[in-house]
Amino acid sequence: MNQTVYPVSAEWRQRAYVDAEAYARLYAQSLSDPEGFWREQAQRLDWIRPFTQVKDTSFDEADFGIRWFADGSLNIAANCLDRHLETQGDVPAILWAGDDPAESRTITYRELHAEVCRFANVLKAKGVRRGDRVTIYMPMIPEAAMAMLACARIGAIHSVVFAGFSPESLAGRVTDCDSSVIITADEGLRGGRKIPLKANVDEALGHCTACATVIVVRRTGGPVTMVPGRDHWYHELRESVPADCPAVEMGAEDPLFILYTSGSTGKPKGVLHTTGGYLLWAALTHHVVFDYKPGEIYWCAADIGWVTGHSYIVYGPLANGATTVMFEGVPTYPDFSRFWQVVDQFGVNIFYTAPTAIRALMREGDEWVRKASRSSLRLLGSVGEPINPEAWEWYYSVVGERRCPIMDTWWQTETGGHMITPLPGAIPLKPGSASRPFFGVQPQVVDPEGRVLEGAVEGNLVIADSWPGQMRTVWGDHERFFQTYFSTYPGKYFTGDGCRRDADGDYWITGRVDDVINVSGHRMGTAEVESALVAHAKVAEAAVVGMPHDIKGQGIYAYVTLNANEEGDDALRAELVRWVRHEIGPIATPDVIQFAPALPKTRSGKIMRRILRKIAEDAVDQLGDISTLADPGVVDHLVANRHRAI
Ligand code: WT7
């Protein structure tokens, strides 16, 4: 294969914190002497009680446990705010760009600190105590970050639920972690359209009894119904609380947040991250991978509803005293130039987005990019899904004008932060490759039996040992945590991803090998979409698989068997699409619904997804052996009625 390689430029070798020699040395030390390495790295945080223990971890069933810096204590909000006040109180912490280009806000570290203290006091006044769960269902406004930091300041555990999720999904997450408070806004604003967040909360609370208090931030001034005793305006509550709020001392292993994510089976899992290791991981990766230098303007265009927003809009950048841009809108509104207009507006130096956005903009042509100068840009990032070399080259040459290296960062909600990624001053770039492991990360490629494969190979990606940013448990289900990640390949963390390692030792992520699909960089469990479909009165059975999609990376292909006497027509298709959007949210919208009189099953009744995937990919010449099916005739009908290219 003729592989393009972009070597590290002389300029980047000079300016970066980590060059090739330093990467080799530090990476080797992080594996040979993890205690020494992490003891030193952890000095970038302000500890209240310094730790004496560093790494106390085991992936083995007998003594399974993950603890880092366990006897140390610190407060995350103090690390992200208070310690920066003296030297850079007047530096912008958040630059906010509204959905409407005419709206923007600048919030300095001093202002952010003051508002987080207020918010924390509001939570305390509403009875929130250390360890209590607070659900945050918010648009991309600074108050969302303030709410997260307010929880961290008083030791409450936040659970941010993406504002695109339905009331049903919200209710499930509020109930699962038993939140006593929901923080929301009257409405969200995206692409000129309003999202009725408070009304969604009202509907969600119709489904569950867990939550006693709703705090509503005013964003649009749109109409809302306030339930007396339960619902309160934030701007009113904040008038009645003191301005000052001490940051509580938290143990390094005390929980910081829960974030729900989809798996291959069952309901979404509450991924739990703790305090010391998580913050260190978010801060160190932000510093080294983006080579953030004081005074630079950094923009991660994700949503705080996903882990990318937690680690790389809020915690990592603020722990480093960076200026972080927060964007309320979408890349295509008011036109396809919006990203680049915001880059010019704030003079953004570092820009981090997902391949799906790059592909969507690439399709619209280069003029939209060229309309803006982008002269401030010096580094680009990609996250969420594999980036195809064509999109990579466009991002590199058109957006970055061949002067900005691209960090293709592979990681997961579970990993807390970057795991496999180039470093701008150290590692040559190959379009489509996430390249090399970050410090302390030990990737291995294994075959289905768990044998470790050496050299240039393809297989399943596992991580052989713990790193500080790792999730610690599934909220309320520690057994599920162990089973999901550590039982497939005993003694190792299984990522759920497949990968290839080339002869240079660079890693290429090939995508999920489990029943998780990645739609526009958002994780979706096929089981969740199936259970939404079968909850419809006319549906008997459903099987959902991923299909290739030009913009989204993967689309959702659903095979649906109807109850006897039901007719599968376009009207029912549209109804089922509406139904799934209502049950889960727009991100779960099926791209294709194929009505099927029956699904291909083994004689023991197991659905053969391999076959369904091939049909959805339109690779019907690769169905493989179908003789083990209970009724091989089913396949002919599916093939004849398959849906081709969208
Ligand atoms: C899954 C994790 C990482 C934060 C946002 C998504 C895929 C993520 C890459 C990348 C190839 C990637 C993997 C992973 N993924 N980044 N750079 N190259 N694949 O977090 O929702 O937990 O999804 O996203 O399949 O397992 P997530």
pLDDT for res 534: 95
Q: Is the pLDDT of residue 644 over 90?
A: no
What ipTM was estimated for this complex?
A: 0.99
Instruction: Tell me the two tokens of residue 76.
Output: 């995350």
Higher pLDDT, 646 or 112: 112
Instruction: Indicate if ligand 1 lies below 6 Å from the C-beta of 411.
Output: yes
Q: C-alpha angle with apex 187: 101 to 180, nearest 5 degrees? A: 130
DSSP 168: H
Residue nearest to atom 20 of ligand 1 (CA): 412
List 487's β-bridge partners, or say none: none
26: Cβ–Cβ under 8 A, 6 or more apart, which residues? 18, 37, 439
Q: Which atom of ligand 1 is nearest to the CA of 509?
A: 11
Rounded CA-CA distance 41/287 in Å is: 12
Residue 161 CB partners (closer than 8 Å, separation 6+): 135, 136, 137, 169, 170, 173, 174, 260, 305
Dig out the tokens for 406 from the structure: 């691209």
Give the residue among 433, 133, 468, 140 at the shortest CA–CA distance from 284. 468
In this structure, what token pair is assigned to residue 631?
């009724």
Q: E strands within 358-480?
A: 379-383, 406-409, 443-446, 452-453, 457-463, 473-474
516 in a known ligand binding site:
no
**Cα 311 from chain centre:** 9
Partners of 298 in beta bridges = 324, 350
Instruction: At 281, give phi and psi (nearest 5°).
Output: -65, -45
Angle formed by the axes of helices 20-32 and 34-41, nearest 10°: 120
Secondary structure letter of residue 371 according to DSSP: T
Q: How many other C-beta atoms are found inside a 10 Å radius of the C-beta of residue 455?
A: 9
User: Quick one: pLDDT at residue 208?
Assistant: 76
* Region of 122 on the Ramachandran plot (φ > 0 left; ψ -120 to 50 alpha; else beta): alpha
pLDDT digits (tens, 9 = 90+) for 422-451: 999 999 999 999 999 999 999 999 999 999
Asked whether residue 624 carries a pLDDT value surpassing 90, the answer given is no
On the CB side of 348, CA atoms within 13 Å amount to: 32
Averaged pLDDT for residues 177-183: 97
Cα(523) to ligand 1 centroid in Å equals 8
pLDDT digits (tens, 9 = 90+) for 382-394: 999 999 999 999 9
Q: What percent of the chain has pLDDT over 70?
A: 99
Cα separations in angstroms, 195 against 92, 164, 190, 192, 537 = 28, 8, 8, 10, 28
**The predicted structure's pLDDT at residue 646:** 44
410 annotated ligand binder: yes
**What number does the ligand 1 atom closest to the CA of 382 have?**
17
Q: Is 539 annotated as a binding residue?
A: yes
Cβ contacts of residue 205 below 8 Å, gap of 6+?
A: 171, 174, 182, 211, 214, 230
H or E, element range at 235 = helix 234-237
pLDDT(1) > 60: no
Cα–Cα dist 557/641, whole Å: 13
Residue whose CA lies nearest to ligand 1 atom number 2 = 412
Residue 433 phi, psi dihedral angles, 5° rounding: -110, 135
Distance in Å, CA 117 to ligand 1 centroid: 34
pLDDT of residue 420: 98
* Dihedral class, residue 538 (left if φ above 0, else alpha if ψ from -120 to 50, else beta): alpha
- Summarised one tens digit per residue, pLDDT across range 570-586 is 999 999 999 999 999 99
For 326-385, write each residue's pLDDT tens digit: 999 999 999 999 999 999 999 999 999 999 999 999 999 999 999 999 999 999 999 999
Structure tokens at 20: 């090739």
DSSP code of residue 239: G
- Site to substitute for ligand 1 among 285, 436, 518, most atoms within 8 A of C-beta: 518
User: Which of 273, 304, 461, 509 is the best mutation target for the ligand 1 pocket, counting ligand atoms within 8 Å of the beta carbon and taking the most?
Assistant: 509
Ligand 1 geometric centre to CA of 386 (Å)? 8
Cα separation, 89 vs 83, whole angstroms: 9
263 is in an annotated binding site: no
Query: From the CB of residue 623, how many other CB atoms can be counted at a distance below 10 Å?
Result: 19
Tens digits of residue pLDDT in 466-525: 999 999 999 999 999 999 999 999 999 999 999 999 999 999 999 999 999 999 999 999
Q: How far apart are CA 299 and CA 227, in angstroms?
A: 37
> What is the Cα Rg of the chain in Å?
24
The mean pLDDT of the chain is 96
Q: 385: Cβ below 6 Å to ligand 1? A: yes
The helix (H) or strand (E) run that includes residue 111 is helix 109-125
Cis bond before residue 448 (omega within 30° of 0):
no
Residue type, 481: F
- Range of weakest confidence among 67-81, 167-181, 191-205, 597-611: 597-611
Return the residue whose CA atom lies nearest to atom 14 of ligand 1.
Answer: 412
Q: How far is the C-alpha of 230 from the C-alpha of 128, rounded, in Å?
A: 14
pLDDT range class, residue 645, cuts 50, 70, 90? low
- Predicted TM-score (pTM) of the model is 0.96
The CA-based angle 355-361-363, given to 5 degrees, is: 105
Mutate to test the pocket of ligand 1, among 300, 411, 415, 493 (most ligand atoms within 8 A of CB): 411
Query: Measured from the CB, is residue 269 less than 6 Å from ligand 1?
Result: no
